[in-house]
Structure 1
Amino acid sequence: MPELWFFYVMAVIFGLVDAFYWPAAGVIRQRIVTKEHYTQSNSVLIGSMQVAGIIGPLAGAMIFAMGGYHLGLVLNALSFIISAGTLAFVKLQPQESAAASPAGKQKRSFKADFLEGIRYVGKTPIILTMIIVSFFANAGANGVSVGLPFLAEKFGVGAAGLGQMSAGWGIGGLIGAVVITLIAIKNPTPRMTLIAFFVQGVAIFLTIFTLNHWYAAALLVVCGLASTSIQVFSSSVNQTIIPPELMGRVGSVMALISMGSTPPCQALAGWVIDTFGLDVLYFSGGLLELTAAGLAFLVPAIRLYGRKNARQNTSGNVTV
C-alpha cells in the first residue's frame, strides 16, 4: 500500500487539474450552445454527472470485489482517457469577438489575464455578490460530506447506511436536472440561485433533528436537488453576463474565491465534530448558508436583475 504522503500529493495534483479544467469547461459551453439553451444544457450536464455519481460508487464496489483496487484504478484511468478522446468530436463556434480585437491577437501574461479577471469581478456587483455567497455556502455545505460517516455511526447503519445516504444526494441532483431540463428556463436569475442556496441551508440545518438515516437520506435528496439548481442557475447566469473572451480568466477568479473555502472548511469540520459534536457541525453549516443567501437578497443588483424597469449594462451593473 502507498504511504499517506502519496495520497496528499495526488490530492494536490487533482486540485491543480481542476483549477484549469472548470474555467476552460465554462468557456467551451458558451461556444457549443446558444444563450437561450444555457439552462437546459447545464442541467443535462449536471444530470449526467449525478447519474455517474449514483452508478460510479456501485460499479466501483463491484470492481473492487472482483479485482481489487488495482483493477479499479486502471479502469478509472482508462475512463478518463476515453473521455478526453471524445473531445475531438466536439464542434466549437468561432470566438469572433476575441479573435477580431487587437488584444485577442497579442500574447498576454498570466498575471495580466488574472488581474483583468479580478477587475471584472470587482466592478460587477452581481458576480461579486454570488462569489461571496458561494464562498460561505460552500463552507457550510462542506461539512455535510465530512459528517456523513459519523452520521452513519450515530445511527449504527454502517457502510450500507452510509451508501444509502450518499445516494440520496445523487438521486436529488438527478431529479433536479431532469425537472430543470423539462421546464426549460430560458431566463435564469441570481434570485433562483439564492433560493436554492436557502433551501439547501434549511435541509442541512434540519439534519440535526433526524431520527434515523432514512430521514437524513431524504434531506440529502433535497440537498442534491438544491445543489443541482445552484450549479445550473449560477452557470447559466454567468454565461449570460460574462463576455466569452473573459469567461476563462473570470471563471478562474470565481473558482479561486468561491471554492477556496473547501480545503480549510473540510479540515475545520473534522475539528468541530471532535470538539463539539456532529449536531453543532450541521447546525452551524446550515445557519451559515442561510445567512449568506438571505443577506444577498438585499443587494440591489440581485434584487433588480431581470426586471422590466431595470437595464443591465455589459459590466453587469443594474441601473433603473
Structure 2
Amino acid sequence: MSDARSRPTIGAPLRARDFRLMWSGNLISRLGDGVFTVAIALEALQVDRQATGLAYVLAARAIPGVVLSLLGGVVVDRWPRRTALLAADLTQAAAVAAVAALIAMHSVALWQLVVMAVVFGTADAFSGPAFMALIPELLPAEQLTQANALNSTSNELTVNLIGPTVGGVAVAIVGTAAAFGFDAASFLVSAAALAAVHHRSRPAASGKSVMAEAWEGIHYIVSRRWLFVLLLGAAVANLVGMGPYFVLLPVLVRHVLHASPLVLGLVYASAGAAGVLASLAVARLGSPQRLVEVMWAAYATSGLLVAGLAFVPNAWLAALLVAGSAGAVVYGDVLYFTKLQTSVPVHLMGRVSSVSYVMVGTLTPVGMVIGGLAATVIGARAAFLASGLLAAACGLVLLIPGARTMDAQP
C-alpha cells in the first residue's frame, strides 16, 4: 500500500476540464437514474401487481445490455468514446420521455415498459464500455484509483442515496410520470456536458474484422486465470444473488413489510450511503496487497447480509442490511475497476470491459426471472435466504488453482 501522503486526493481528477465535464453530466444523469429506479419498480407493480411483471421489465433492460455489450466494446474501440456516450444519452432520453407521456395520459401497459427497458438496455451496451474506456484517455494512470472512487461515490450518492429518496418523495407527491420526466431531462443535461468536452480522440483503425477484434478482448481475459475465474464466479453470483435481489427487494418492502413508496426509496438510499462510505474508504486506503482475496471477501460478506433479509421484521432493519451488503459490493467493485484500467492496454479497454460485462451480466436477467418466480412460489423471505447463501458460497472460487495469481497464463 502506497504512502497516503503521496497519493492523489479523491478530488484530484476534477482538475482536468474534460473529465470534470463528463463527470458532472454523468452525475446529473445518474441522479435521474436513481429516481428512475424507484419509479420503474412502483409503476411496474402498479400495472401488474405480480412480481413476475417487474421481473420481465428489469430483465428486458438487462438482456440487450448483455447480448450487445460485446458489439458495443468493439464499436467504442473503433469510434470516439464521447460520440457513443452522446448517442446513448439521447436515445435513453427519448425512451423515458415517451413512457412519461404515456403514464401522464393513463395509457401505459406492461409491454410498453418492457419496450422502453429494451431501448435502455441497448444504449447501456454502448455507454458502459465507452465511459470506462474514456476515463484513461482523460486522466493520467496515477489518478485512476481516485477517479474510480470519485465515480463510485457520486454514483452511490445519486443512484442509490439521493435519487431513490427524491424518487420516493416525487412518486408520493406528483406521481411516476413526473419522475420519468425528470430522468429524461437528466440525460439531456449529460448530453450537453459531453458536447462541451474538447477531447476528440478516435481510435486508430486496426484493419481487422469485428469478430477478430472481439476475439482479442476474449483472449486477453482467458489468458489471465485470476480474471477469468473472477468473472465466472461473479456471473454465478449475479444469477443466484444480484439478479433475484433486484426483484425481491421492492416486493419485500412493499408487499411483505407493507411499507410506503417513500420508505422503499429510503431503503434504496441506505445502499447509496454505504456505497459512498465504501468508495471513500478505497480512495483513502488505496488497493490492498492481496487484492483478489479482499474483493471476494467483500462479495461473500454481501451475500451473507442479503440472506439476513429473510428475517427482518421491518423496513428499517432491511435498510441496515441492504446498506451493509451494498457497501461490501461497492468496495470490491472499485478495486476491480481500478485493477482493470491499470492493467489493460488502452486500445483494448473497450473490448475487455465489454467482454467482462457480458460474462458477468449474462445470467443476471435469468436471475431476475428466477427471483420473480421464487417470490411467487416460496415467498420473498425464503427466496432471499437461498439467494444470499448461494451468492456467498461463490467466494469458494478462490480455491481454484491460479485464481489468486495476477499474471498472464497462455
Return the TM-score normalized by structure 2: 0.67
Partner Cα distance (1:300, 1:91) in 2: 46
Equivalent position of 2:144 in the other structure: 38
Letter in structure 1 aligned against 2:256: K
1:272 aligned residue (350, 374, 378): 374
1:242 aligned residue (341, 344, 353): 344
Equivalent position of 2:51 in the other structure: none
Equivalent position of 2:409 in the other structure: 317
**Does 2:174 correspond to 1:174?**
no
Partner Cα distance (1:9, 1:211) in 2: 36
**Does 2:129 correspond to 1:23?**
yes
Equivalent position of 1:213 in the other structure: 315
Deviation at 1:71, TM superposition (A): 4.0
Could you list the runs of 5+ residues in structure 1 that have no partner in the other structure?
306-311
Is residue 172–residue 262 contact of structure 2 (8 Å, CA) maintained in 1? no
Partner Cα distance (1:162, 1:64) in 2: 11
Judged with a 3 Å threshold, the aligned counterparts in structure 2 of structure 1 residues 144 and 70 are, in CA distance, closer, same or farther, namely closer
Is residue 252–residue 381 contact of structure 2 (8 Å, CA) maintained in 1? no
Letter in structure 2 aligned against 1:219: L
Deviations 1:261-320 (A, max 9, x none): 1211101101111112223311221122222112x2223433344xxxxxx4xxx339xx
**Does 2:194 correspond to 1:87?**
yes
Equivalent position of 1:156 in the other structure: 258
Equivalent position of 1:286 in the other structure: 388
Equivalent residues, number = 301
Partner Cα distance (1:2, 1:94) in 2: 42
Could you list the runs of 5+ residues in structure 2 that have no partner in the other structure?
1-106
- SS in structure 1 at match of 2:139: coil
Partner Cα distance (2:171, 2:378) in 1: 35
Sequence identity percentage: 27
Letter in structure 2 aligned against 1:111: M
Judged with a 3 Å threshold, the aligned counterparts in structure 2 of structure 1 residues 78 and 271 are, in CA distance, closer, same or farther, namely same
Is residue 295–residue 335 contact of structure 2 (8 Å, CA) maintained in 1? yes
Deviation at 1:92, TM superposition (A): 5.3
The 5 A counterparts of 1:95-244 are 104-139=204-239, 140-152=241-253, 153-185=255-287, 189-244=291-346
**Does 2:164 correspond to 1:57?**
yes
Is residue 272–residue 278 contact of structure 1 (8 Å, CA) maintained in 2? yes
Equivalent position of 1:303 in the other structure: 404
- SS in structure 1 at match of 2:149: helix
Equivalent position of 1:308 in the other structure: none
Is residue 39–residue 188 contact of structure 1 (8 Å, CA) maintained in 2? no
Judged with a 3 Å threshold, the aligned counterparts in structure 2 of structure 1 residues 122 and 184 are, in CA distance, closer, same or farther, namely closer
2:181 aligned residue (57, 74, 88): 74
Judged with a 3 Å threshold, the aligned counterparts in structure 2 of structure 1 residues 110 and 148 are, in CA distance, closer, same or farther, namely same
Partner Cα distance (1:262, 1:71) in 2: 29
Deviation at 1:57, TM superposition (A): 2.7
- SS in structure 1 at match of 2:130: helix
Letter in structure 1 aligned against 2:302: Q
Equivalent position of 2:21 in the other structure: none
Deviations 1:147-175 (A, max 9, x none): 12332232333334323322221111111
Return the TM-score normalized by structure 1: 0.84
Judged with a 3 Å threshold, the aligned counterparts in structure 2 of structure 1 residues 287 and 66 are, in CA distance, closer, same or farther, namely closer
Deviations 1:208-242 (A, max 9, x none): 23233222211111111112112201111111222
Deviations 1:178-222 (A, max 9, x none): 222222338782222211111101111222232332222111111
